[in-house]
């Protein structure tokens, strides 16, 4: 169908980071409020993502890892609503084709959890019954078992970069989902945890350790349908890492806005996050391979609003 064809372009799974990202997004789509991420050897040894979401119904399990299975997309126009992260049904099946995957799940209607091995073609075999809470766990080992060059690539220095990238992603997704508790462990050590909170400020403190050098932003303009909240440092911190940008509760890449931060902060990026709420008809998030690019109608207006707020509220300039 047209739906299938239009959403199946491109490779999603190319790195340990992309596996973690896809599995976390699935956990969020399942309504999880606690997501635990356990990695070994920078994700190359093991990636385990445990959530307390709704679990997977017994009748859906045989399809979960088949190419193009998704329980999320209802029809083509849903693609333009941004309520869920998933819609292509590609991730689980792609992960199974390059790694060994085990799955444990208990749906809210089940009395026990069941564990499965997932074959590389996506076919499941049950391996046991476990007394777990409602939710789903994916355990990914033997990553890139059939792609030795890729594996070698991530065994070196690139492995550590993957861990940093994963850590950074979790901090961003925690800011976008402040009520979700995230825990990241690496080689059994707790790296970081996000204490869930209803408030962005607490989330930010948990993400950054301290927000002492940041100023809170709070702006809303009824007639333009734009609301901007967040916290930003008053001076530039790094030329590499832009602040997190969240649009309508989604962590996004917003290149044009990142550029304007650099301009405002003398060629550096501030640390912190900016959370923008727009009426949905002003924004197209995703329809991109990694679903994180944002396209705003009247982007230039939005950018000048943000520039003005940051200038006045954070940097204390009149412009
Ligand atoms: P998509 O997210 O695009 O639907 P995926 O391949 O990522 O595709 O996942 C396939 C399907 O497996 C999802 O639509 C969902 O029904 C189910 N699923 C995957 N992970 C979880 C999870 N953590 N909790 C509940 N259901 C899940
Ligand atoms: Mg998905």
Averages of pLDDT over each 10 residues, the chain, 319 residues: 38 86 94 97 97 96 89 56 63 94 97 97 95 97 94 91 96 94 97 88 89 91 84 92 90 89 94 89 60 71 90 82
Helices (H), the chain: 2-7, 16-29, 91-98, 148-155, 157-176, 200-208, 255-264, 299-309
CA of 236 to the centre of ligand 2 (A): 35
Q: Sign of dihedral through CA atoms 80, 221, 258, 176?
A: negative
CA of 70 to the centre of ligand 1 (A): 6
C-alpha angle 141/146/147, rounded to 5°?
A: 100
pLDDT value, residue 196: 83
Give the number of the ligand closest to the Cα of residue 49: 1
pLDDT value, residue 266: 93
Measured by CA distance, the residue closest to atom 20 of ligand 1 is: 26
Which residues form ligand 1's pocket by a CB distance below 6 Å? Answer: 22, 26-27, 30, 51, 53-54, 56, 60, 64, 69-72, 86-93, 136
Domains annotated on the chain, with CATH: 2-194 (3.30.565.10), 200-314 (3.30.230.10)
**What residues flank ion ligand 2 with Cβ within 5 A?**
26, 86, 91
Measured by CA distance, the residue closest to atom 7 of ligand 1 is: 91
Three-class HEC string of 221-280:
EHHHCEEEEEEEECCCCECCCCCEEEECCEEEECHHHHHHHHHHCCCCECCEEEEEEECH
Q: How far is CA 111 from CA 57, 131, 173, 232, in A?
A: 12, 9, 31, 46
CA of 30 to the centre of ligand 1 (A): 8
Measured by CA distance, the residue closest to atom 12 of ligand 1 is: 64
Q: How far apart are CA 314 and CA 319, in angstroms?
A: 12
CA of 69 to the centre of ligand 2 (A): 10
Hey, what are 267's tokens? 């060629």
Pocket test for ligand 1, best of 19, 64, 85, 289 (most atoms within 8 A of CB): 64
Quick count: other Cβ atoms within 10 Å of Cβ 234? 13
CA of 119 to the centre of ligand 1 (A): 16
At 56, phi and psi to the nearest 5?
Answer: -115, 125
pLDDT value, residue 290: 55
Assembly ipTM:
0.99
Give the number of the ligand closest to the Cα of residue 55: 1
Give the number of the ligand closest to the Cα of residue 62: 1
Please give the model's pTM, rounded to 2 decimal places: 0.90
pLDDT value, residue 1: 37
Q: How far apart are CA 173 and CA 17, in angstroms?
A: 13
Are 269 and 238 in contact by the 8 Å Cβ rule? The answer is yes
Tokens 């909170």 correspond to what residue?
A: 197
């Amino acid at each position: 169908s047209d739906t299938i064809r239009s959403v199946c372009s491109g490779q999603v799974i190319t790195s340990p980071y992309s596996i973690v990202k896809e599995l976390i997004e699935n956990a969020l789509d399942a309504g999880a409020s606690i997501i635990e991420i356990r990695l070994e050897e920078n994700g190359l040894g093991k990636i385990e993502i445990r959530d307390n979401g709704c679990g997977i119904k017994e009748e859906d399990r045989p399809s979960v890892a088949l190419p193009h299975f998704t329980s999320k997309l209802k029809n083509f126009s849903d693609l333009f609503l941004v309520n869920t992260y998933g819609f292509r049904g590609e991730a689980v099946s792609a992960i199974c084709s390059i790694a060994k995957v085990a799955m444990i799940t208990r749906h809210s209607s089940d009395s026990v959890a069941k564990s499965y091995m997932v074959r590389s073609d996506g076919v499941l075999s049950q391996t046991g019954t476990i007394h777990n809470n409602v939710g789903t766990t994916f355990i990914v080992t033997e990553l890139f078992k059939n792609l030795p060059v890729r594996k070698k690539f991530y065994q070196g220095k690139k492995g550590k970069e993957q861990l940093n990238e994963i850590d950074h992603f979790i901090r961003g997704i925690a800011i976008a989902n402040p009520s979700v508790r995230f825990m990241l462990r690496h080689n059994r050590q707790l790296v970081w945890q996000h204490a869930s909170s209803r408030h962005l400020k607490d989330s930010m403190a948990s993400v950054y350790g301290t927000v002492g050098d940041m100023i809170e932003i709070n702006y809303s303009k009824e007639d333009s349908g734009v609301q901007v909240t967040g916290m930003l440092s008053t001076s530039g911190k790094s030329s590499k890492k832009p602040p997190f940008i969240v649009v309508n509760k989604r962590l996004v890449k917003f290149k044009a806005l990142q550029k304007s931060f650099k301009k405002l902060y003398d060629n550096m990026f501030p640390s912190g996050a900016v959370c923008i709420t727009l009426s949905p008809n002003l924004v197209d998030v995703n329809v991109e391979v990694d679903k994180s690019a944002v396209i705003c109608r009247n982007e230039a207006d939005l950018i000048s609003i943000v520039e003005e707020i940051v200038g006045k509220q954070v940097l204390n300039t009149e412009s």
